[in-house]
Structure 1
């Protein structure tokens, strides 16, 4: 039961990380396209790294 739950959460987290990476790529493209979007791009980049770091911290 516990192993199944752990496997489920790790799969879910992998999906969330992939979704986050896709969003980040999209934001990077948009940030490159327009100069006024640089602050948003930096914020998205920073927050996604923190988010992923938090997830891995909780797993380990």
Structure 2
């Protein structure tokens, strides 16, 4: 993905949302990079489940 260099794994915890994960990882609520990096397992950004392993794109390039 342009602007990102690799990814790190993240296991979804109870109460997580993609917006919350983005806020924790990036400091903003833009979850789109996370959703796009996980199209192979997510079809709806509102449907994530505890225990799912997501790819979190790293924006540290």
Higher relative contact order (CA 8 A, sep 6+): 2
* TM-score normalised by length of structure 1: 0.25
TM-score of the two chains, using structure 2 as the length reference: 0.25
Per residue, is there more helix in 1 or in 2?
1
Computing the radius of gyration from Cα coordinates, the structure with the larger value is: 1
Q: Counting strand residues as a fraction of each chain, which structure ranks higher?
A: 2
